[in-house]
Amino acid sequence: MENFFKPSKWIVAFCAILIAIWLSLQFVIKARLTEEGKQLAYRIFNWNWPGLNISSSVKDISNVKIDKLTQADAKIEIEGRQNIVTGNGDLNHQVYSIKVLPFKLVIVFYHVNNAWKIGSIIFN
């Protein structure tokens, strides 16, 4: 049997470059989504309630995982720990208690007009 089609080295190189570009774009998309998820977790869990003398801050984010990624949506699972600081007493003699609590949330992003928009946030 004869070879009717024999790819040249230029076609092979061109295909290899296209695959490398596609893989790098996938890496950038995943890195961008995980960073957006982290920033959103910081915005959610960093808060202050002066009337009750309670505040919260993110201690660390231990795990960011992309559960699902399509062209239309992405589902990201974020796990970490938060500090809950409560104060008791008057302004001159504050007594603080600090609790470290785990948190886990799932964020769904939708791809609309070349931008990732927040669809829903699920707290576990």
Q: Is 4 among the domain residues? A: no
User: Alpha helix locations (H) across 46-99?
Assistant: none
Q: Please count the structural domains in the chain.
A: 1
Residue 92 pLDDT level (bands cut at 50, 70, 90): low
Residue span of the structural domain in which 86 resides: 9-123
Question: Which positions ≥6 away from 111 have C-beta within 8 Å?
Answer: 71, 72, 73, 74, 117
Contact 104, 85 (CB under 8 A): no
**Overall average pLDDT of the 107-112 stretch:** 93
Quickly tell me which residue has 């707290």 as its tokens.
Answer: 123
What tokens does 11 get? Answer: 């076609």
The CATH number for 14's domain is 3.10.450.540
Q: Is 36 among the domain residues? A: yes
What pTM, to 2 d.p., does this model score?
0.77
Rounded-to-integer distance, Cα 68 and Cα 76, Å = 7
- The string of pLDDT tens digits covering residues 25-60 is 999 999 999 999 999 999 999 998 888 888 899 999
What tokens does 17 get? Answer: 């470059």
Q: Is 3 among the domain residues? A: no
Query: Over 80: is that where the pLDDT of 86 sits?
Result: yes
